[in-house]
């Protein structure tokens, strides 16, 4: 085939997606919408001259301009652009209007994402922002047209679930983007960013993947919180798309769509997906490994087993929790009679071997460092506690109900029971596969939670298979009953309400929670502390090294101080951390230090390492009119060495 023929064929295929005449009409309608938007915005600014501050009037006017212009565009598109697919029925107009507003909102979030993502990489400047805004408008226009053509004004009554699922992913991505860019780094995020400036095969707390991904999106100078979170933000969207396609292949489009709805409305993945932690790459690569492993089981082809093993190995490079993939897969093959024969083939063993081979550099790194990361995580996960078993079980179940949903989590437990009880047989091996993986991971963390106080987000990988299982079992059972549909609606509605309130609270802090106890307090006041520390150092005769007694303080000061210097952490009375591994106190013997601590007075475990310690000032960090933390600055003379 000649180059000319291939070009004509490619243009013909493109025309099926963007038909010239209809797309031109759509573009003209969009241009008229800009005029309507500006006119309505100006009108509202003129009509409401005394309504609050100018900022409040401007926001209200801009919103009304957008809302009226979208309505204008909808009517023009309904009666002109897609008039061959619509009727004059008022009911039909009202039925399609919410879809059109949703499509327009998705296009706006695409535009917003393009501007923020590309500006974060290229640098923020007026000229570049205007350029990326034009690119974003173009991308948003194409997205809006495709959704309008294939979903809002779709030809015929049969509609697939792929576009609504993509629309949902774009909407949640836009909401996460707004939230991720408006909150300063949490202490652990700043800690992981510090790792990204010192790349290695392992770190005290975790394997290296989170540091590698942050390094990909943050420049040496001028990094922003959005840059630190960008890779995790993109990973969240990929997770949703993988879950959708896996569930669609296992069951059908409807089940896949509602699996993605559940995934994107739970507090665990809505708010949890906003921060840069090892859990985000873990869940992405865990999902990819599950996706590829199902192909390997279903098709019994060696290439799929090897790809799944590679994904599992990369998941192990993200967080040690990924090791549970291996026993969970083995248990499934032992339990499922229809696929037990695969244990006699090389595929599963090559899967495990390749995963461990990819993970081998981390094993070597641990060996070279006295197995410290393995030992720390084992003690952290199953260490003892003086709490009763009943209290620990209540805390574990309560944490899961809070993050997944007060009604969705019990529903998931019921779906797991159903899958384990009725999942035998070739036609139901998909249900058994999901049930075994979910129950193994969830059960393991519940047992670990009976001996130590773990984190509520640790079982997150269980829900990658759990939500598709819940959706599939619901449509196979409860969906046929009105009471079942009402129960499902209540469960999902309650989950959406909790997550929505959490997102609103992140922006506006409207709930009656004391600032000191607010979850966002951990991200507040660090810039103020850095200014106070820098000011105190400038007042001293010599620019002394800054040292802290917590890794969180060291990481946050490094992020906010001018030049972003490495800030050592010296805390022999606390648990070890990455700063001790880096030996950041090397060469400090005999020197005076500006020591930053939350303790007052300094404990003898610290003061005993100096000739003298003197309190210089106490810094009270305030937020929303209340002190959320107090940090003390000390002059410590003549460090004795470790």
pLDDT per residue over 85-98, tens digit each?
877 677 777 778 88
**Which are the contacts of 317, defined by CB distance < 8 A and separation ≥ 6?**
207, 208, 209, 358, 359, 362
The whole domain housing 630 covers 522-639
* More confident: 119 or 447: 447
Q: Are residues 490 and 595 in the same domain?
A: no
203-241 confidence digits (pLDDT tens): 999 999 999 999 988 887 778 888 898 888 888 888 998
Instruction: Kindly tell me if the per-residue pLDDT of 13 is higher than 50.
Output: no
Q: How far apart are CA 100 and CA 615, in angstroms?
A: 62
**Which are the contacts of 183, defined by CB distance < 8 A and separation ≥ 6?**
225, 274, 506, 520, 523
For residue 159, being part of any structural domain is answered with no
Lowest mean pLDDT among 74-88, 358-372, 402-416, 594-608: 74-88
Q: Are residues 501 and 532 in the same domain?
A: no
pLDDT reported for residue 123: 63
Instruction: Kindly tell me if the per-residue pLDDT of 455 is higher than 50.
Output: yes
Ramachandran area for residue 405 (φ above 0: left; ψ -120 to 50: alpha; else beta): left
* The pair of three-digit structure tokens given for residue 338, joined into one six-digit string: 């229809």
Q: Are residues 366 and 246 in the same domain?
A: yes
pLDDT reported for residue 20: 55
pTM value? Answer: 0.80
pLDDT tier at 521, thresholds 50, 70, 90: confident
For residue 422, being part of any structural domain is answered with no
Q: Are residues 135 and 270 in the same domain?
A: no
* The pair of three-digit structure tokens given for residue 380, joined into one six-digit string: 């952290």
- The DSSP line for 587-640 is T-TT--EEEEES-SSPPHHHHTTEEEEEEEEEEEEEETTEEEEEEEEEEEEEE-
Q: Are residues 130 and 257 in the same domain?
A: no
Handedness of CA 41, 44, 46, 49 (dihedral sign): negative
pLDDT tier at 120, thresholds 50, 70, 90: low
For residue 302, being part of any structural domain is answered with yes
Instruction: Kindly tell me if the per-residue pLDDT of 18 is higher than 50.
Output: no
* More confident: 568 or 447: 568
Q: Are residues 492 and 356 in the same domain?
A: yes
For residue 188, being part of any structural domain is answered with no
How many helical (H) and strand (E) elements, i.e. helices and strands, does the chain have?
25, 4
549-583 confidence digits (pLDDT tens): 999 999 999 999 999 999 999 988 888 889 989 98
Q: Are residues 488 and 549 in the same domain?
A: no
- Beta-strand relationship, 610-623 and 593-597: unpaired
Q: Are residues 479 and 553 in the same domain?
A: no
pLDDT reported for residue 193: 95
Using DSSP, state whether 86 is helix, strand or coil. coil
The dihedrals phi and psi of 610, each to the nearest 5 degrees, come to: -130, 160
Q: Are residues 500 and 363 in the same domain?
A: yes
For residue 269, being part of any structural domain is answered with yes
- The DSSP line for 356-372 is HHHHHHHHHHHHHTTTH
pLDDT reported for residue 273: 79
Q: Are residues 486 and 555 in the same domain?
A: no
pLDDT above 70: percentage of residues in the chain: 88
383-404 confidence digits (pLDDT tens): 556 677 777 788 888 888 988 9
**Which are the contacts of 314, defined by CB distance < 8 A and separation ≥ 6?**
209, 285, 288, 358
pLDDT tier at 17, thresholds 50, 70, 90: very low
The dihedrals phi and psi of 526, each to the nearest 5 degrees, come to: -75, -35
Number of domains composing the chain = 3
DSSP summary character for residue 221: S
601 preceded by a cis bond (ω within 30 of 0): yes
Q: Are residues 241 and 332 in the same domain?
A: yes
Choose the most confident range, by mean pLDDT, from 17-21, 304-308, 515-519.
304-308
For residue 502, being part of any structural domain is answered with yes
Q: Are residues 47 and 100 in the same domain?
A: yes
Q: How far apart are CA 362 and CA 175, in angstroms?
A: 36
For residue 379, being part of any structural domain is answered with no
Q: How far apart are CA 314 and CA 316, in angstroms?
A: 5
For residue 3, being part of any structural domain is answered with no
pLDDT reported for residue 159: 54
* The pair of three-digit structure tokens given for residue 114, joined into one six-digit string: 């393009």
Q: How many CB atoms lie within 10 A of CB 343?
A: 12
Lowest mean pLDDT among 233-237, 288-292, 348-352, 416-420: 233-237
Instruction: Kindly tell me if the per-residue pLDDT of 600 is higher than 80.
Output: yes
Q: How far apart are CA 267 and CA 137, in angstroms?
A: 31
Instruction: Round the average pLDDT of the chain to a whole number and report it.
Output: 85
pLDDT tier at 8, thresholds 50, 70, 90: very low
Instruction: Kindly tell me if the per-residue pLDDT of 586 is higher than 80.
Output: yes
Q: What angle do CA 513, 516, 522 make, to 5 degrees?
A: 110
* The pair of three-digit structure tokens given for residue 618, joined into one six-digit string: 């106490």
pLDDT reported for residue 288: 95
């Amino acid at each position: 085939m000649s180059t000319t023929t291939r070009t004509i064929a490619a243009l013909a295929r493109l025309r099926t997606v963007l038909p010239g005449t209809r797309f031109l009409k759509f573009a003209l309608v969009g241009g008229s919408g800009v005029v309507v938007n500006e006119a309505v915005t100006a009108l509202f600014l003129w009509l409401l001259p005394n309504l609050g501050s100018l900022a409040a009037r401007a926001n209200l006017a801009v919103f009304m301009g957008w809302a009226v212009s979208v309505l204008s565009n909808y009517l023009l598109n309904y009666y002109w652009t897609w008039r061959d697919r619509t009727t004059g029925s008022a009911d039909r107009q009202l039925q399609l209007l919410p879809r059109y507003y949703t499509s327009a909102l998705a296009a706006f979030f695409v535009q917003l994402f393009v501007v923020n993502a590309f500006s974060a990489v290229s640098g923020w400047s007026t000229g570049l922002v205007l350029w990326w805004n034009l690119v974003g408008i173009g991308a948003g226009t194409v997205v809006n047209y495709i959704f309008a053509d294939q979903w809002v004004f779709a030809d015929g009554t049969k509609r697939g679930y792929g576009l609504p699922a993509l629309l949902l992913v774009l909407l949640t991505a836009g909401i996460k983007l707004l939230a991720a860019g408006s909150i300063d780094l949490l202490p652990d995020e700043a800690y992981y960013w510090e790792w990204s400036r010192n790349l290695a095969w392992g770190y005290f707390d975790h394997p290296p993947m989170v540091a590698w991904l942050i390094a990909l999106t943050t420049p040496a100078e001028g990094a922003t919180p959005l840059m630190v979170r960008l890779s995790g933000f993109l990973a969240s969207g990929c997770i949703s798309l993988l879950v959708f396609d896996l569930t669609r292949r296992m069951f059908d489009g409807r089940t896949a769509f509602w699996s993605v709805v559940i995934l994107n409305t739970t507090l665990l993945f809505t708010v949890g997906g906003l921060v840069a932690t090892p859990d985000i790459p873990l869940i992405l690569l865990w999902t990819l490994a599950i996706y590829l492993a199902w192909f390997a089981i279903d098709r019994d082809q060696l290439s799929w087993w090897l790809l799944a093993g590679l994904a599992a190995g990369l998941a192990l490079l993200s967080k040690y929790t990924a090791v549970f993939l291996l026993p969970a897969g083995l248990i499934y093959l032992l339990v499922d009679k229809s696929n037990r024969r695969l244990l006699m083939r090389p595929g599963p063993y090559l899967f495990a071997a390749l995963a461990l081979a990819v993970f081998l550099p981390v094993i070597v790194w641990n060996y070279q460092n006295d197995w410290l990361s393995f030992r720390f995580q084992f003690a952290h996960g199953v260490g003892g506690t003086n709490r009763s078993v009943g209290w620990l079980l209540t805390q574990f179940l309560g944490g899961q109900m809070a993050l997944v949903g007060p009604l969705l989590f019990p529903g998931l437990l019921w779906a797991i029971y159903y899958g384990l009880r009725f999942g035998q047989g070739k036609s139901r091996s998909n249900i058994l596969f999901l049930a075994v993986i979910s129950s193994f991971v969830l059960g393991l963390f519940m047992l670990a939670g009976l001996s130590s106080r773990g984190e509520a987000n640790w079982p997150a990988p269980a829900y990658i298979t759990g939500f598709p299982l819940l959706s599939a079992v619901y449509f196979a059972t409860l969906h046929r009953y009105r009471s079942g549909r009402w129960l499902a609606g209540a469960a999902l509605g309650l989950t959406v309400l909790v997550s929505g309130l959490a997102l609103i609270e992140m922006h506006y802090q409207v709930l009656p929670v004391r600032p000191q106890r607010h979850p966002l307090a951990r991200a507040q006041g660090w810039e103020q502390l850095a200014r106070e520390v820098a000011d105190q150092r400038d007042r001293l005769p010599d620019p002394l090294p800054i040292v802290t007694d917590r890794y969180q303080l060291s990481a946050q000061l490094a992020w906010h101080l001018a030049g972003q210097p490495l800030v050592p952490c010296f805390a022999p009375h606390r648990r070890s951390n990455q700063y001790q591994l880096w030996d950041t106190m090397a060469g400090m013997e005999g020197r005076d230090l500006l020591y930053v601590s939350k303790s007052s007075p300094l404990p003898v475990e610290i003061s005993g390492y100096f000739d003298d310690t003197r309190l210089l000032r106490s810094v009270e960090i305030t937020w929303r009119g209340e002190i959320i933390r107090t940090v003390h600055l000390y002059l410590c003379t003549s460090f004795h060495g470790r």
